[in-house]
Structure formats: C-alpha cells, structure tokens
Structure 1
Amino acid sequence: MPDTENSVRAQNESTSDVDYYRVKAQSTLRQINSMKFYLNPEAINQFDEADLLARMEWINSVNQAFDSAQTSLERLDFAEISSDHRIEFAEAFMDVKAKLNRGLAAHRKSQLPASNVANLTSIDLTNNADLSFRSRKPRFPNMEIPRFHGSYSEWPEFLATFNTVIGNDDELSDIEKLQYLRSSLGGVALETIRSLEPSNANYKEAMNLLVNRFDNNVLHFQAHVQAIFGLKGVEKGSSKGLRELSDCMNSHLRAIRTLATTQQILDGLLIHIVTRKLDQRTREKWKDDLSITELSTWDAMESFLEKRCRMMENLDHALVTQTPGQQESTTTKLRVVFDGSAKSTSGSSLNDLLLAGPTIQQKIFNILLRFRFFKVALCGDICKMYRCVRLSYPDDFLQCIVWRENSREELSVFKLNTVTYGTKPAAFLAIRAMH
C-alpha cells in the first residue's frame, strides 16, 4: 500500500507541474501579445527614453520567464516540443522589441542639436557616387542583434533577427544596412564580405555572399548533431550543469526538428557515430561523396561501407603482377602472371587459401610409352590455354589488380575473369575444363 500511495502521489505531482508550467507559459505569451497590440505609433510617441528602456528591460525578463516555463513544460510533456508556442512567442517578442528600438532611435535623433545633423549631410559624392543624399543622421539604435562569427548552427537565428530588425526596415538605406551588417559579424563571417566597399549596391551582394556560404540546411543539421555529441557531461551532480545540459540539448533538438524528419534525424545520429569510428582515409572518402543539398541516409552509409569493405578486401588479396623473362628484350613476348604466394596484411596469401585440385591427366610414363606404339606421333598446343577458361562468380573477385599510373590518381581495380597463371588451382581448372 505505501508503494501504491507514493506512486499515485508522484503521478499527481507530475500532473500538477505540467499544469503549472503550461499556465505560466500561456500567461507570459498573453503578456507579450498585449504589449504588441498596445505599442502603436501614438503610444510610442508619448514615451520618453526612460519609458522605452524600462519596457525594453521588461520584455527581456518576459522572454526569460517564457523560455524557462516552456522548457520545463517540454521536459514533462514531450508533445509540447512540436507545438507552435515558441514560434508564436518569438514573433511577438521580435515585433515588440523592433518597435521599441525604432522608438528609442527616433527619440534620440530628436534630441540631437541641429548643427550635428547638418554636419552629417556633407558627403563626398565624387568618391561615393552611388550614395543617396540624406539630411538625417544614420540611425544606430541600441539593438541586441546576436553577433555572428560563422557557426552554421547560429546562422538561421542571426538571419531571422537581422532581417526583422534591420533588413526589413524601409527607412534605412542599403548602405546603412551594410554598416549594421558589418558591425554584427566577426571571424570568418566578416572575412566573407570584408572586401566589399560600403555602397548601396554592395549590401545585396554582401547578403548573397553570406547566404551562399552559410545558408545550407545540410551543414546546419550536421553542426547541431556535432554540438549534441560535444555537450559537456554533468560533474558531481551539479543542478546548474544539469540545467545547462538539458537546455542545450532541447535547443539543438528543436533546431534539427525544423530541418529533418524523425527518420532523417535518426540516420544522422547513426552516421555521425559510425563516421567518428572510421579511419581518416575512409572518413575523407565518405565526406567527398556527400551531397551538399540533401541529408545523407543510413542506406547510403551502409552502401558506402559495403563498397569500401569490398575494395579494401580486394586490396588485401590483390596479387603482385610480374613479367617473367628479360624485360629489356624486344623479341620475348610480355606475359602477365600473378604471384599467388604474396602475403597480405593477414599474413596469408591467396594460394594458402586455395586447393590445388587432384591430378586428372595421365601420368607422364603412360604418355611417353604411347610414342613406342606408332611410327608417327602427333602433338599439339592450345594457345593461351588458361585464358580460354572463364571463372564463375564470385570466385573471379579473388583475381583483382589494384592499379594507378601515379600516386596522385585514385586507385582503380581490375578483375581478371579467366584462369590466371600463378594461382595454385590454375592447372587443374584448365585441364578439367578441357575434359
């Protein structure tokens, strides 16, 4: 009975927590939506800078409260992870924050002395022919655009935030947007557009360069998967560490659910695990074959591994080609043979694994004796006898040659389909086929 009561009590507590966090998340969502509809141009014009900053601080606290409540709710009720609550809140949050930023910029501009504004209108049009003449100060509002350094997993959030706050603002010129963009970049992202001079035309060029470089769902997916496997473990039962692990994991899972199906996510995780265990050469070969536009499937990885295994097995069993006789001679024909006794990495040769077969031709004594029975003896020769006998599948895969003209070329594999001189059962196979 005590166990049953404890179980019922734990279940009731879990249900109570779900209800609490759901109500908490819905409450913060209603608050941000109320602020969104309240902040019309007339209301914003009535605020001074202190009012705008206070509301900016308030919506940031509401954002943190919603994220905490929604994350706890998703942990208790997995169905919440696929809901649209986060998207709805994010849209309302960015709308409110953009309105406050614009209001703050307009207020600060109105407080500038007229002389400062006039000084900003002196633009050298001879060196900047494509700059539009403006009599107002370029706006640099106090925005919190995330700084982007080139991480593929951070690109979607950066692009969405930048376009919401800056890119879609019709009151800003393209050259002003380009300056905002430069100030929001760092690392390899900034290097991508560093060579572009500040001009109206180069803003679109800069955005195209960044999109072509970083807007790739396959790379976004791979970056999130790598980040998941790179999460630090929780040390000494730390509640803070456990919270960070949970929040980071949920963040990456939400992101990859927007990029792939459940099956694609499973395939991606398996591929990442297997790839980390491959040797460097095989891993590089796998990456060379990857599509840059479509997510890889486990079927593709399985097929790649099978082909790679066969190629390496053939490499282990490949026999060294030799050319008997004097190679410098111009009259002696060149004859390609196998060294069937060459040892592979396993320590065994192909001939060690093959059977020679029984002797089925007549003994030499009987053959010589027949020359005594007749006055005339006839003898003949089958030209290239071994090459006249075809091997059956899959035994022909044991007769492969790995070849390339130089060390810079990819290895090519050639398969000999007929009996080859130098292998242990060659004589038996040829004579058996003749019989």
Structure 2
Amino acid sequence: MSSVNTRDSALNAIKRYMTKSKDEAFVMDSDSVASYLQLLNEQWARFNTAQGEVELSCGLDNAEVEESVRVQGESWYATALANFKREQRCRVEPTTQLVTSPTSVSAAIRLPKMDLPTFAGDSTYWIAFYDAFCSLVDTNPTLSDGQKLHYLRSCLKGDALNIISGFKVCDANYTEAWDLLKSRYKIMRVIVEAHLREMFAIP
C-alpha cells in the first residue's frame, strides 16, 4: 500500500473515531473507552508516519495541500482523544445518574427548577448570564458537579453550546467545561468591543 493510501486509510479511521466520540447516544463502558483510545492512537501513529513520507516526497507545489491534510488529521485526533479521555474520567468518577433508572428519574424530578437565562454566544449578554449562573448553580453547595453540568448545558444554545458539546454529563467534566466556556467569553475587551459596536449601531 502506498504512503498516500495508508495515510488516507488512517485519516478516515481517525475521523470515524472522532465522530463516535461525539455521539452521546453511543454508550461505552471503561473497557470500551480504553480499547477505542488504543485504536485511535494506533491509527494516529499510522497517519503520522505515512503523512511524513508523503510530505517528504510531495515537493513545494503540493506542500500547502499536505499541510492542510496534516492540520485536519491533528484536529480530528485531538478532538477524539479529548472526548474519549473525558468519557474515561466519567467511567472512573460516575455522576449522580439523571435519567437512566427509576431512582435516577426520581433524582431528576427532585432537581429544582431554575429561571436561568439562555446564552447563545453573544458577548453582550455574557456578564448577565455569568452572574446568574454563578449565583444559582456554580456556587450552589447542594448540587453535584454532574447536576451543575446538566444545568449549564440546558441554558446554552448555538456557538456557546457547541463549545462544550463534547463533554458528557458527569461530575468529572463540569469544571473543565465551565472553565472552557469562561475562557472563551470572559474576556473584557471582547465584551467592551461588543457593547461599543451595539451602541454605535443604534440610529
């Protein structure tokens, strides 16, 4: 098999694993997660070796194309690796079940209803959302981290939800998901600029 064919085969496998890692309907136990991580790393090694051979022989004319292939492969691999590792943490530190058994259904029913604002990624609304979520959820000592992540996902839409869509709902994932969202939107310069654009857009 040529280096290009080997590269393409490995890249397609990495893409499949990336897609599977994002599928919330796909349930994995700890052994399955470990197996997928091993398979993913094996395919990444195949891709990395074959892509290196292709890059050495492609010449300057195709260098940009091959660089884009490598970037795509790295992106898919990084996404799949992060998602599988998060799933692995969930297996080690399972959250309070929310919807999978009669007991968990009762637990879900007992979760208090909260009047949380919806945040879809518009920086002009970040501060209001952040303050409300911190007050009602993040600092609430009666909620587990898994329940906090459940609330967080329930009040996000659009780009904001996409940022944490790879996080399964479990105790181990809440802090990382919340920190990731804050790092994206808790940037005062961006918020100020968004407010200024909104002000100057008013006739």
- TM-score bucket (shorter structure): 0.3 to 0.5
Q: Which has the larger radius of gyration?
A: 1
More helix by share: 2
Q: 1 or 2 for the larger relative contact order (CA 8 Å, sep ≥6)?
A: 2
